[in-house]
Amino acid sequence: MNPTITSEFIRAIPKSDLHVHLDGSLRLGTLIELAKAHGVELPSYEAAGLRELVFKDRYANLGEYLHGFAYTCAVLRDAESIERVACELAEDNIAEGVRYIEVRFAPQLHVRDELQMKDVVGAVAAGLERGAKSHNNTSAVKQGDDIPFEFGIIVCAMRSINEHMSPYYKRLFHLLSGTPHKELCTLASMEMVRLAVELRDKHGLPIVGFDLAGEEAGYPAAYHTQAYQFAHSHFLRKTVHAGEAYGPESIFQAITDCYTNRIGHGTFLFSSEMIQDPNIADKAAYVESLAEYVASQRITMEVCITSNLQTVPEFETINDHPICRMIESSLSVSVCTDNRLISNTTVSRELELIASALCLHPAQFKNLVVAGFKGSFFGGGYNQKRAYVRQMMSLYEKHEQTLLAG
């Protein structure tokens, strides 16, 4: 590890997580307890067994990685369970010094007859608020020795859907039998984004963004342009999972078809060999122009190192990951967890991995941490966001002086 950036320092500084999936970040013990309560069959009811069989250190591919969601989504079937998981997620982040998170999830995956999308979002908001309350009432926060824990919600549409994903999708396929898959995706994402704006504007829920998740190959973001246009015209900020398992063209599409403010992962931004469009003659120039545009427009990259190392076979170590090139290209890079349970990680571990393996000087490391706060979809307004970022930087610099003095 860089001798000036210690584990103690990393745990002490205020951190953020802009890309964390609720249903991929349960406590393992909570998953087991909820599975027993709801009659959900798990391959093991012991933590060690689940780590061996489902939540591994390394996965064969993204498909195997995503298999764990079948179990986590199955236990998030009522408002009480969802609120509990959201509360625990807030508590776990607070405990490691994270002070801002944006929790994302697909409400349509959790819908049942007795649990509608607004109930799902409301339960997450209530859980996060409950988890934040004890910290925000501490004397340290009130006296200015710490900063409040703030959060936002990002609702996700899915690139590809099928009737087995949830009762919501089953009903959609049944009611619109024979409708092309592309149109079903458009309808589902439009319903989701309309509800998101309504819950934000009429019910005051802390929805700060709209996302598109799921398999990229064969399911282009263009299917969801209408939903992103609606979000754009209603001042709902936008992020897109892009370049995680597909090439630069997916990132280009997220920018041009979805008006995205941030990119989820962006792992293959520089992989010109993955470009498939025969009309792109100079692939290297295309990638260079794309990276320059992302940098100049400050489109923040939500980078999830451990998750990528687990799902991309050609990445053997962090040195194979493009994060260094992103930093060298002056991109806005925010370090995120993706899924705390499925990747068995925390924000602190992600930062420790970077500090131990990459030759970053303290200013570069600080930029990574600050980028998460500056690139956030903070829901309190621009002036409040600026004040919050200043608080965060003041606290960071205080720890620099006390912990990095030597």
What does the pLDDT look like over 14-28, one tens digit per residue? 999 999 999 999 999
Any idea where the domains of the chain sit in the sequence?
Answer: 7-403
Residue 296: in which H helix or E strand, if any? Answer: helix 283-296
The more confident residue out of 267 and 1 is 267
Average pLDDT over residues 28-47: 97
Mean pLDDT of 322-346: 97
What mean pLDDT do residues 115-124 have? Answer: 97
Q: What is the token pair recorded at 60?
A: 């064969």
H/E run at residue 294: helix 283-296
CA neighbor of 40 nearest in space, from 79, 71, 65: 71
Query: Closest Cα to residue 111, out of 123, 101, 99?
Result: 123
pLDDT number for residue 84: 98
Cα 103 from Cα 88, distance rounded (Å): 12
pLDDT category, 3, cuts 50, 70, 90? low
Q: Which two tokens stand for residue 241?
A: 């999972």
- 2-11, 259-268, 287-296: least confidently modelled range: 2-11
Distance of CA 45 to the CA centre of its chain: 27
* Average pLDDT over every residue of 287-302: 98
Mean pLDDT of 318-337: 96
Which of 310, 305, 346, 318 has its CA nearest to residue 67?
310
DSSP state of 2: -
Q: Could you tell me which residue, 76 or 217, shows the higher pLDDT?
A: 76
Q: Which residues pair with 263 in a beta bridge?
A: 240, 301
Q: What's the whole-number average pLDDT of the chain? A: 95
Half-sphere exposure of 359 (CA within 13 A, CB side): 0
Q: Is 73 helix (H, G, I), strand (E, B) or coil?
A: helix
Architecture of domain 7-403: Alpha-Beta Barrel (3.20)
Which tokens hold the place of 298?
A: 């400050």
| pLDDT tens profile 366-401 | 999 999 999 999 999 999 999 999 999 999 999 998
Specify the pLDDT at position 188: 97
In the prediction, which pLDDT does 217 show? 80
Closest CA to 211 of 87, 377, 328: 377
Confidence grade of residue 405 (pLDDT, cut at 50, 70, 90):
low
Q: Say what percent of the chain tops pLDDT 90.
A: 88
Rounding to the nearest 10 degrees, give the CA dihedral for residues 180, 184, 185, 187. 140
Distance CA 303, CA 317 (A): 15
